[in-house]
């Protein structure tokens, strides 16, 4: 189905799409996504943060509540990890009917190097009390969603929050966080969809009961219909994307390529396990062949490069790619429709006219 056949996009969706940009597919060529090419998703407005007055509060079910300056956090031992972050709504606009929200095609992803202090070191300083269940992360940004005025906030189960790779991150690609990526501090949860990595972090609260806020109880759940409470969305399902070969037609983005051998290149990632296989189809998913995998990424949740030599013959071809991880999870041919339009990891299809 071409764009013109599909139900038109609304001005509200356009307003969201123009604020929250995707990573262009050609940026899959970079192992580390340049900051300005990383996707962006901001539910409300970017808050104005006075960094001289900034304090991170750590409280709730702890022995000693803390108020930490940025300098105090920067003075602690820090780690840098290359992490693929992806929005849970990536692929939403390809669902039919299209759930109305940020209308992502497939570019809501990026692989950045994040520097920060392990959250567990800070929690150890505060002393988590017996009976703690979850850790709540509250951002400074406020808005109205589902008729509820709220700060953007999400919780994590305590065992996830205590992983050594969950960072209080203050740098992205070796520079201070930019305003749009959470300046001056965000939480980074490798392997989980982006909604868990709360930006503009103001407060960390240890909880002895589950947090039932809007972004947990209503948003970010796989629901078959509006009455279905659904299952929460957590880790990133495997996906692979390719750099579309050839050149684009400006208005339609249709690809045009010369006959001959094209090296197809892309990246694959998963929040469940290592990428073990990427396959390519040049006949719209009828037959598949293995791509050549690049080296194992240095960090567990960084993306992995792959390539595939395609002998392009004149005519129209639909190229597809599909990733499988070490837990055996792979990508379906068709999406699983759901109310929020989440986790559409159906294989990418790129139509190329060879002439
Ligand atoms: N405070 C706050 N944190 C947030 C969001 C937000 O709107 N507010 N958006 C979340 C979502 S849905 C995603 S996908 C990621 C996007 O991070 P990025 O814009 O740095 O790529 O941030 C998450 N953290
Ligand atoms: Mo997201």
Ligand 2 centroid, distance to 102 Cα (angstroms): 9
User: Do 168 and 56 meet the contact criterion of CB atoms below 8 Å apart?
Assistant: yes
For the chain, which residues make up each domain, given as ranges?
3-232, 239-354
Q: Per-residue pLDDT tens for 10-23? A: 999 999 999 999 99
Confidence of residue 2 (pLDDT cuts 50, 70, 90): very low
Q: Per-residue pLDDT tens for 262-318? A: 999 999 999 999 999 999 999 999 999 999 999 999 999 999 999 999 999 999 999
Section 202-214 average pLDDT: 98
Give the pLDDT of residue 8: 86
Take atom 10 of ligand 1 and give the residue whose Cα is closest: 195
Report the CATH architecture of 239-354: Sandwich (2.60)
User: Do 275 and 329 meet the contact criterion of CB atoms below 8 Å apart?
Assistant: no
Confidence of residue 112 (pLDDT cuts 50, 70, 90): very high
Q: Looking at the CA of 83, which ligand is closest?
A: 1
| CA-wise closest residue to 194 among 276, 76, 114, 304 | 114
Which DSSP symbol is given to 314? S
CA–CA separation, 152 vs 232, rounded Å? 17
Section 81-90 average pLDDT: 98
CA–CA separation, 38 vs 32, rounded Å? 9
Give the N- to C-terminal CA distance of the chain in Å, as an integer.
22
Q: What percent of the chain has pLDDT over 70?
A: 98
| CA-wise closest residue to 141 among 110, 87, 170, 180 | 180
DSSP 240-280: EEEPPPSEE-TTT--EEE-SEEEEEEEEEE-SSS-EEEEEE
Q: Looking at the CA of 91, which ligand is closest?
A: 2
Take atom 16 of ligand 1 and give the residue whose Cα is closest: 41
Confidence of residue 6 (pLDDT cuts 50, 70, 90): low
Q: Looking at the CA of 177, which ligand is closest?
A: 1
pLDDT at 127 over 50: yes
Hey, what are 343's tokens?
A: 């986790």
Q: What mean pLDDT is reported for the chain?
A: 97
| CA-wise closest residue to 29 among 309, 294, 311 | 294
Report the CATH architecture of 3-232: Alpha-Beta Complex (3.90)
Backbone phi, then psi, for 27, in 5-degree steps?
-75, -5
User: Do 210 and 155 meet the contact criterion of CB atoms below 8 Å apart?
Assistant: yes
Ligand 2 centroid, distance to 354 Cα (angstroms): 36
Give the pLDDT of residue 160: 98
Give the pLDDT of residue 5: 53
Q: What percent of the chain has pLDDT over 90?
A: 97
Give the pLDDT of residue 185: 98
Section 225-252 average pLDDT: 97
Q: Which residues line ligand 1 (CB under 6 A)?
A: 38-43, 85, 87, 139, 141, 152, 181, 194-195, 197-200
pLDDT at 1 over 90: no
CA–CA separation, 275 vs 269, rounded Å? 6
CA–CA separation, 290 vs 183, rounded Å? 41
Angle at 304 between CA 298 and CA 305, to 5 degrees: 125
Q: Per-residue pLDDT tens for 95-105? A: 999 999 999 99
Give the pLDDT of residue 170: 98
Section 218-231 average pLDDT: 96
């Amino acid at each position: 189905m071409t764009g013109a056949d599909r139900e038109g996009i609304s001005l509200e969706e356009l307003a969201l799409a123009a604020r929250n940009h995707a990573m262009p597919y050609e940026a899959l060529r970079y192992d580390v996504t340049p900051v300005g090419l990383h996707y962006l998703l901001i539910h409300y407005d970017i808050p104005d943060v006075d960094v001289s007055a900034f304090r991170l509060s750590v409280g709730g079910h702890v022995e000693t509540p803390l108020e930490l300056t940025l300098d105090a956090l920067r003075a602690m031992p820090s780690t840098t990890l290359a992490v693929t972050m992806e929005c849970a709504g990536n692929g939403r606009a390809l669902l039919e009917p299209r759930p109305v929200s940020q209308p992502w095609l497939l570019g809501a992803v990026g692989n950045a190097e994040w520097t920060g202090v392990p959250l567990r070191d800070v929690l150890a300083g505060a002393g988590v009390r017996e009976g703690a269940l979850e850790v709540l992360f509250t951002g400074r940004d406020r808005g109205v969603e589902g008729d509820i005025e709220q700060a953007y906030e999400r919780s994590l189960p305590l065992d996830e929050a205590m992983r050594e790779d969950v960072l209080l991150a203050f740098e992205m690609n070796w520079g201070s966080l930019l305003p749009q990526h959470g300046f001056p501090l965000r939480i980074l949860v490798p392997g989980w969809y982006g909604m868990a990595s709360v930006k503009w972090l103001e407060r960390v609260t240890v909880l002895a009961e589950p947090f039932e806020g809007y972004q947990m109880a209503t948003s970010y759940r796989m629901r078959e219909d509006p009455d279905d409470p659904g299952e929460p969305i957590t880790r990133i399902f495997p996906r692979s994307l390719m750099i579309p070969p050839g050149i684009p037609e400006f208005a339609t983005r249709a690809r045009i390529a010369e006959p001959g051998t094209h090296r197809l290149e892309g990246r694959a990632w998963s929040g469940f396990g290592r990428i073990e296989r990427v396959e390519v189809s040049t006949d719209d998913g009828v037959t598949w062949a293995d791509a050549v995998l690049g080296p194992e990424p240095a960090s567990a949740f960084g993306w992995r490069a792959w390539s595939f030599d395609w002998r392009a013959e004149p005519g129209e071809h639909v190229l597809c790619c599909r990733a499988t991880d070490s837990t055996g999870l792979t990508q379906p041919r068709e999406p699983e429709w759901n109310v929020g339009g989440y986790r559409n990891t159906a294989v990418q299809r790129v139509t190329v006219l060879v002439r």
